[in-house]
Structure 1
């Protein structure tokens, strides 16, 4: 009887450890196995453990591509780790299905959407679970001295975090990594540490004779993809965070034909994925040979497509907004996505 009691007490713990290593898609299906599994997988503590387990693994989990259709607000998704011969539809929140949309960014499995209708909220959406939350858009104040023009309320504070050169060109879409928000600029990678409220600049690798730079995450490391003057695709990866000497070229340059090509990512297997001529998604194998392709109806811009990872996280467990008032929650979320 004692041995049986110990086995029964151990079993839930073993089940949890096994489930922590399964993909989100499988976990959502396994909610139907039993009430016990439904309760476990739906628990916010398990959702955070699952995300932290995946985030700590030495692989690139940010390999799902979500894009918006050019003509109507429809979202489609592709798992770039699998074959890209087909994609699948995602159900957008009902509040933004019939309006023009743009994507403001992704973080911890959530995507921030903007509807271009005056007075409408931003939408914070988890595509894997379907959960979403309306986030009031900051009101513009044309008389404000700050160029961003946000209305000053009790939820917005001016932070002394350093100074940057005036009219500094930076990438529109930011990357969240190592607790900081990063933008690619011509003088380096501009980073803002969210917790310490500290602004700093990281050095770039040797980027002479390169163009179409793009900052992204590769296996959890910051990386810069680019095109050379003879239409070759190259990649620099910062293996050790904020260490200039750790910039490396893991794959050198890869061949590309004469048509317009934009790099998206490398998969865990070393395959290259990109957009050709704004109409076709293409995957090359690790030898640079054509592998798969898929025709898509989306312009390749940071506002219409985004790379993201799947997660079970809720708004509370993902961004730590419990106990905050409505305005503070908005400020806390927008700091992460902008």
Structure 2
């Protein structure tokens, strides 16, 4: 009788229940909403969702469950590379009334997506939305019509850091239809803030030349970064609302490259000729330079003949460096969707999980990839 009374007392202690729930994985909490109305109310609360995300970050428990690999050409949603066995499929968007969904960016639990009808190459006909597949919540974005009609679209990016704010921002880049010179253009940046639910237009004007890959940006440490094949590129400082210049690492002619964030650093990885030789560059904390962190040739590894040349076929993609408890690694993706993980610390290779979807290379010689880490969180869309 005493035990029953204690259990009943705990059941009515909302503070204690909340403390217990804060330490559970996001997917479990979504299922636990059906336990009772009290649990539904707690888990659905905005303050709880934010506290849950920050609690897991503080414990170091927020780790990517998958990578969205995004190509430069063709459809934007390249593939899902699962990092855990709990996340082996592409998200289902049946909770959004939007056909032909393309995942443009994954940012700390939220996805920036585009729904596009028809086959026009321009993105002026696309509908954009933010969503959280874990909680199945979404919000359509209303982009001012003038931006779609009078200017040429460059890119759209999501900036969301739940450790700093529960709100997100949309960074929209456009340019004039005519450039200053044949090799120089004028661009503008507009920002949508979920905190004010409004757009700030033309908050930043900048000039740029050919070579900056605005088609896909990487959100990292309060800024949006873009890759450039020349010696300098650009990044947008979100807090100070200004475009700044950043050096790019010097490298030889390459076949494939990958640009993304991992382990708290911005990385640029390139593969040469046969895609078996790699170099991994890491940006310095002060953004002043890059340094070569790893150099690797898979043909020098002990397991090369027995593993790589056995039954996997040729390499289709490679992913940039991923940080784990066993050290940094490069993930290789083969034609059949199978993967191998090469540890850059001890030079060992092990088989990984199968990719959820692949998109053919077509006839492009160079393959440029961006990677967005996918986190399963309760992050709210405010």
Q: TM-score, normalised by structure 1?
A: 0.70
2:256, 2:368 within 8 Å by CA — same for their partners in 1?
A: no
For residue 280 of structure 1, the aligned residue among 337, 356, 375 is: 337
* 1:37 is the counterpart of 2:82: no
User: CA separation in 2, counterparts of 1:303 and 1:285?
Assistant: 18
Mapping for residues 266-277 of structure 1, pairs under 5 Å: 266-269=322-325, 270-277=328-335
User: CA separation in 2, counterparts of 1:304 and 1:185?
Assistant: 13
Shift of 1:40: 2.4
In the other structure, the counterpart of 1:109 is: 109
* 1:93 is the counterpart of 2:138: no
Mapping for residues 292-303 of structure 1, pairs under 5 Å: 292-294=352-354, 296-299=356-359
2:107, 2:372 within 8 Å by CA — same for their partners in 1?
A: no
User: CA separation in 1, counterparts of 2:248 and 2:369?
Assistant: 25
In the other structure, the counterpart of 1:308 is: 374
Instruction: Provide, for residues 50-99 of structure 1, a one-character-per-residue CA deviation record: whole Å limited to 9, x for no partner.
Output: 2234445667733413579xxx9x9985531448xx823532135556x3
Q: TM-score, normalised by structure 2?
A: 0.63
Shift of 1:160: 3.7
1:109, 1:126 within 8 Å by CA — same for their partners in 2?
A: yes
Shift of 1:164: 4.2
- Structure number with the higher strand fraction is 2
For residue 289 of structure 2, the aligned residue among 222, 235, 244 is: 244
Name the CA shift for 1:143/1:50 in 2 (closer, same or farther; >3 Å). closer
User: CA separation in 2, counterparts of 1:306 and 1:101?
Assistant: 16
Shift of 1:299: 1.1
Instruction: Please state whether the residue corresponding to 1:48 is helix, strand or coil.
Output: helix
* 1:121 is the counterpart of 2:176: no
Unaligned runs of 5+ in 2: 1-5, 119-124, 153-174, 178-186, 191-197, 300-307, 361-366
Name the CA shift for 1:143/1:312 in 2 (closer, same or farther; >3 Å). closer
* 1:170 is the counterpart of 2:187: no
2:88, 2:355 within 8 Å by CA — same for their partners in 1?
A: no
Aligned length: 299
1:282, 1:292 within 8 Å by CA — same for their partners in 2?
A: yes
Shift of 1:130: 0.8
Shift of 1:180: 1.0
Shift of 1:149: 9.9
Instruction: Please state whether the residue corresponding to 1:158 is helix, strand or coil.
Output: strand
For residue 257 of structure 2, the aligned residue among 213, 220, 241 is: 213
User: CA separation in 2, counterparts of 1:240 and 1:58?
Assistant: 21
Instruction: Please state whether the residue corresponding to 1:280 is helix, strand or coil.
Output: coil
2:227, 2:259 within 8 Å by CA — same for their partners in 1?
A: yes
In the other structure, the counterpart of 1:133 is: 139
In the other structure, the counterpart of 2:317 is: 262
Shift of 1:215: 1.5
1:171, 1:183 within 8 Å by CA — same for their partners in 2?
A: yes
User: CA separation in 2, counterparts of 1:268 and 1:61?
Assistant: 9
Name the CA shift for 1:196/1:56 in 2 (closer, same or farther; >3 Å). farther
Calculate the aligned-residue CA RMSD, in Å.
4.2
